[in-house]
Structure 1
Amino acid sequence: MTPQDPPSPPTVSVVVPCYRYGHFLPACVRSILDQEGVDVDVLIVDDASPDDSAAVAHRLAEEDPRVRVLVHAVNQGHIATYNEGLAAVRGEYVVLLSADDMLAPRGLANATALLAANPDVGLVYGFTRSFSVEPPPARTAARSWSIWPGEEWLRLVCHRASNPISTPEVVMRAETMRDLVGYDDRLPHAADFLLWLRTATRASIGRVNGVDLAYYRVHGANMHMSQYPGALRDLGERKRAFDILFDEDAAHLPDAAALRDAADRGVAREALVLACRAYRRGVPGDEEAEALARLVDLAERIWPPSRTSRLRRSYEAQVARARRGRGPLLPRRLAEVRDRGIDHLRWRRFRRSGIDGALGWL
């Protein structure tokens, strides 16, 4: 579908939860207030930060009447902070943007154009660029839109069992957010994923193609996600998100049993792919090997047939080589080149299809 701007500027409320990110707040808020083609307001919710975040937020509110501030006297945690802010929004559309992230130029205009033209769409996502110091130039001219009926998008995500949405780029219809009552505090690390899944049970899902909607800041406080214990937690919570969806929203899913099986298989595949990749790159130390073994155990608990899969056999063969004091079949540099090629293929598939997921078979 060819993108077109709506006839009048849509209203967008952006909630900015903040904890100890006062030094990032000015850039974050400026990226919101500078958005073209929309009427925007900002609500900063500071969760009792011990730094100067509250003072910075109040200064920003004094400088621009579109900015409001809520400050917690006692820390309430990120999920409660998210939901308090989202419950107080006034716009037709809503965004949750962490204080360390930023919106890309025209990101809101590009996303809300799709929502305005398609009343059945409840959530829009797209591309998020990573940065550490200064964000790179953004692509701002939308090439096309992709729109999936919610059931179709959910089926694709269940088969890949991976979250294709980074979070900073999401724009939701406020009515849909209110219907779903925000983020679920049972999932501190995957509440966003569950929210996307539940949205697909009520509405269509859209993606803006060929543009950057937001920027995700990579820094020391969020780099833990690359470690294998972090992957174990992430996959465990992803499984839990699927379970909550199928246990509590089955009435909205005509093929819930088949989707649950596909999701279980997909999460197991992701765990085994991670474990095999680690051994391809070298003999892991004792602590890392233990974490990898837990990933494999998780895969078997989630989807028992994975025990006889090709990926499981590959993992066991590599473990056996390591125990005999033999390294990987390929030199480390060749293994890294191979993995970069696989990552590139995964990225190309995501760019083309809008759905992420590990490359591998069970």
Structure 2
Amino acid sequence: MENPEKQPIVTVIAICYNHSAFLLESLTSVVHQTYQAIQLIVVDDASEDDSQQKLLAFMQDYPSVQWIFNEKNIGNCKSFNQALLLAKGKYIIDLSTDDVLEKTRIEKQVRYFESLSNSYGVVFSNAIFIDEQGKTLSTLYDKNQSIPEGNIYSKLIEQSFILPSTMMIKNEVLDSLNGYDETLSYEDFDFWIRSSRNWEYAYLPEILTFQRKVSTSLSSRFVQKENPLVVSTVKVCAKILSLNRNETENKVLIKRLHLVLKQCVFTEDFEAGEEVIKMLIELKGHTFKSKLLSVIIQKRIPLNFIYLKYNQFRA
């Protein structure tokens, strides 16, 4: 292996909120990497379980790890950004402390990153989904699945196909974006859009991350009534409208807006839905179906109970 002093530093920002059952496994997967030039910064976002006690014990064994203990819960975006200010790495990994890194992940992603041109800002990879007991559920991508890479701005408007936990991000990219947008309730969609507008993405076809599916995960909260996650999605769509450069990109945005409009209806985020309708009208994409949904929004017809029942049945 290359001399650690000559290796590019990789900063892992590990954010913990009530991950007591999983965080030691997650952090151990970082400190036991085959790659050695790692800066680990752990942020506890005012956990209400015994996460902090476990983190303090972990600190005794790994005194080089840097720690931030938030006095109150401030959310992922702000927590990440305050750690980013301390980051020394050329590359950054945003790790939730219920997920686990495969032991060669950082070594392999750095090696791949270093082989790419400067136009690339993100390397992402395949993953295995695990349950709360660590049992394998499924893989993110099929073995022979064709995964978009390079300039994938339009693809990311159309579909969210990257797992954030698999990404290694060039620090230069985050610096150019001033980190995550702290006005949003979640960071993934916004980061993909803003970064892919100016940077290329590279796919490394190996399973290098174990993503844990838990009942309290962010994605499971998208079905809840009057949802700040849905409101954040609408805000990102407005950013896309301002970033788009041609009609092809606008057509893809129209497709996304129709999906978001349905979500606004079923989560009863009516004001956000009104903003979606305005964008559809501006883009000349307001169809018969979206006009029907706009009636539900205007009349404030409650449908979230149906949405919840449907998702319970589907689960």
TM-score, normalization by structure 2: 0.74
Deviation of 1:98 after TM superposition, in Å, equals: 0.9
Q: In 2, Cα distance between the equivalents of 1:266 and 1:104?
A: 36
Offset from partner CA, 1:210-241 (integer Å, 9 cap, x none): x2232221122127627644797655533321
Show the counterpart of 1:111.
109
Q: In 1, Cα distance between the equivalents of 2:105 and 2:137?
A: 13
Show the counterpart of 2:301.
none
Show the counterpart of 1:129.
128
Offset from partner CA, 1:148-175 (integer Å, 9 cap, x none): 44xx3102223x1x22222111110112
Change (3 A) 1:41 1:155: same
Larger Rg: 1
Mapped pair 1:225 → 2:220: yes
Find the partner of 1:20 among 18, 33, 36: 18
Question: How many residues are aligned here?
Answer: 287
Structure 1 segment 203-352 matched on structure 2, within 5 A: 203-209=199-205, 211-222=206-217, 225=220, 228-229=223-224, 234=229, 236-247=231-242, 250=243, 256-258=245-247, 261-271=250-260, 291=267, 302-303=279-280, 305-308=285-288
**Secondary structure at 1:97 match in 2:** strand
Deviation of 1:67 after TM superposition, in Å, equals: 2.0
Q: In 2, Cα distance between the equivalents of 1:85 and 1:207?
A: 26
Contact 2:20 2:51 in 1 (8 A): yes
Which letter maps to 1:103?
L
**Secondary structure at 1:84 match in 2:** helix
Q: In 1, Cα distance between the equivalents of 2:148 and 2:218?
A: 32
Higher helix share: 1
Deviation of 1:122 after TM superposition, in Å, equals: 0.8
Contact 2:43 2:69 in 1 (8 A): yes
Task: Provide the aligned C-alpha RMSD in A.
Answer: 4.0
Offset from partner CA, 1:24-83 (integer Å, 9 cap, x none): 210110111222245223111112223322221122122124422121233333321110
Which letter maps to 1:101?
D
**Secondary structure at 1:202 match in 2:** coil
Offset from partner CA, 1:176-229 (integer Å, 9 cap, x none): 21221111012113x2211121111232111112x2232221122127627644
Q: In 2, Cα distance between the equivalents of 1:230 and 1:127?
A: 32
Find the partner of 2:92 among 94, 97, 105: 94
Q: In 1, Cα distance between the equivalents of 2:275 and 2:256?
A: 9
Q: In 2, Cα distance between the equivalents of 1:256 and 1:14?
A: 34
Show the counterpart of 1:178.
175
Q: In 1, Cα distance between the equivalents of 2:255 and 2:226?
A: 14
Change (3 A) 1:37 1:67: same
**Secondary structure at 1:13 match in 2:** strand
Contact 1:135 1:215 in 2 (8 A): no
Q: In 2, Cα distance between the equivalents of 1:38 and 1:135?
A: 28
Show the counterpart of 2:44.
46
Gaps of 5+ in 2: 293-312
Show the counterpart of 2:33.
35
Which letter maps to 1:268?
L
Mapped pair 1:199 → 2:195: yes
Q: In 1, Cα distance between the equivalents of 2:66 and 2:224?
A: 38
Deviation of 1:134 after TM superposition, in Å, equals: 1.0
Which letter maps to 2:237?
F
Q: In 1, Cα distance between the equivalents of 2:56 and 2:235?
A: 38
Contact 2:231 2:269 in 1 (8 A): no
Deviation of 1:297 after TM superposition, in Å, equals: 8.0
Q: In 2, Cα distance between the equivalents of 1:306 and 1:246?
A: 15
Which letter maps to 1:57?
L
Q: In 1, Cα distance between the equivalents of 2:103 and 2:226?
A: 32
Q: In 2, Cα distance between the equivalents of 1:242 and 1:225?
A: 21
- Larger deviation: 22-31 or 71-80? 71-80
Change (3 A) 1:264 1:56: same
Q: In 2, Cα distance between the equivalents of 1:227 and 1:148?
A: 27
Q: In 1, Cα distance between the equivalents of 2:258 and 2:58?
A: 46
Contact 2:129 2:137 in 1 (8 A): no
Show the counterpart of 1:153.
152
Offset from partner CA, 1:112-169 (integer Å, 9 cap, x none): 2221111321111122322111154999xx99997844xx3102223x1x22222111
Q: In 1, Cα distance between the equivalents of 2:279 and 2:214?
A: 32
Show the counterpart of 1:318.
none
Percent sequence identity over aligned pairs: 16
Deviation of 1:257 after TM superposition, in Å, equals: 4.8
Show the counterpart of 1:316.
none
Deviation of 1:245 after TM superposition, in Å, equals: 4.3
